[in-house]
Amino acid sequence: MDILQSMMILVLLVACSFFLSLSEIAIAGSRKLKLKLIAESGEERANKVIELQENSADFFASTQVGVNAVAILGGIVGESSLRPYFHNLATELYPGPWADTIGFSLSFLTVTSLFILFADLMPKRLAMIFPEKLAIKVINPITIFIKICRPLAWFINIIANSIFRIFKIDTKRDDSMTFDDISAIVNAGAQAGVLQKQEHHFIENVFELEERTVPSSMTARENIVYFTLNEPEQSIRQKLAEHPYSKFLVCSEHIDQVIGYVDAKDILVRILNNQSFTQLNESTIRNVLIIPDSLTLSELLDRFRSTKEKFAVVINEYALVVGVITLSDIMITVMGDWVTPMDEEKQIIKRDNHSWLIDGSTPIEDVKHALTIEEFPENENYETIAGFIMYRLRKIPRPADAVEYAGFKFEVVDIDHYKIDQLLVTQVLPNLEGESPAPQDD
């Protein structure tokens, strides 16, 4: 066999190895979700790729048999055909005892380099760049190859499966989608510019409904505007004028004796029709949804959907009212500035690039987004940034009390009846190299 025939066989073997390596990485690296989308567009070969992924034992055994067999055969053919030429070249340059060894080494390096470059590195890199596209193109020929190699692949799989059983390794592919997977996809989309910052924030908030509890979005007890059964008409008119809410809680004598709620529209219709009302009655008071403060926002959405209500009273384990929440509150939590009224007082005000004024009642999740903090420690013990400060201080805070965490200093600037009203958050900048830290007061 002359050199031309040997080189043709070697090129053919490299091409076969190229095809097998490319098929292996492309099919293994194809994303099932993207393949399903391609299949829905009418590409039947995408379904074949998915089926092969789910039953991949014969596929991997066949490709490994092919790749290794081709590599061994390529070494034999390449070494036997190239070695004499490299030996003659080495003899002309170095007519010594090591000429035969040099010729063998050069032929070995040449063949090995060809297979590494054209049968391993290049096909695998291409398959990683276009996995789904290439998997669809190679699925039909690789299926034929698997059928040819099936007897040998069957024998190899018996041995491999026996070893897996000994070590109790589950070989079934898990294609389930987790929250972390979706979050990673969304983050990648945001970094690539596919998603705008506001859209990214919106999607994150939707997933957080499973984790955020009702107190993080409700109107707190001290901010609830309510009517009593015997409240004078003038007082009701004044509250309607000062607080343009759509719904008002109705209580017997105090806030913990909830009877129901009234829709401001019902009262305003009577006022517009010049109808007087001396007290609230059954015709205007509606039944109110009572929920525990342990519910998540996702669970509350289910309650609203099943009861057709949009307003709920939140109580704690002692049956005391801790707040009220509406469907609009949940939507504001999810969509943020997209639905928040422009004239509503903001809970987080950015003063400059390194400092913020934050209302003490701001939910901890909103603070995380604003300051880009991954997580607050032991956050199951509090709902708001004020709760975080009290939890870390382990005392009732006073003005100028501060907590440092994650590169930020949280300083109490305003207290209202033991309640943290406002915080100044400052980013703690690292000292410049060579600069000594500022002295601390004793």
Please, where in the chain does CATH 3.10.580.10 lie? 213-336
pLDDT, tens only, 286-340: 999 999 999 999 999 999 999 999 999 999 999 999 999 999 889 888 876 555 5
Residue 287: Cβ within 10 Å count:
10
Do the beta carbons of residue 147 and residue 64 sit within 8 Å?
no
Of the candidates 427, 203, 218, the residue with the CA atom closest to the CA atom of residue 336? 203
pLDDT, tens only, 119-156: 999 999 999 999 999 999 999 999 999 999 999 889 98
What order do you get walking across the sheet with 419-427 strand by strand? 348-352, 355-359, 419-427, 408-416, 402-405
- HSE at residue 69, side-chain half, CA atoms within 13 A, is 10
pLDDT, tens only, 29-68: 998 889 999 999 999 999 999 999 988 888 999 999 999 9
Q: What angle do CA 37, 195, 354 make, to 5 degrees?
A: 155
Please, where in the chain does CATH 3.30.465.10 lie? 346-425
Do the beta carbons of residue 336 and residue 217 sit within 8 Å?
no
Is the pTM higher than 0.85? The answer reads no
Amino acid at position 32, single letter: K
Fold observed for domain 346-425: 3.30.465
CA 238 to chain centre: 47
Of the candidates 410, 418, 412, 362, the residue with the CA atom closest to the CA atom of residue 385? 362
SS3 324: strand
- Helix and strand element counts for the chain (H, E): 15, 13
What is the homologous superfamily of the domain 213-336 according to CATH? CBS-domain (3.10.580.10)
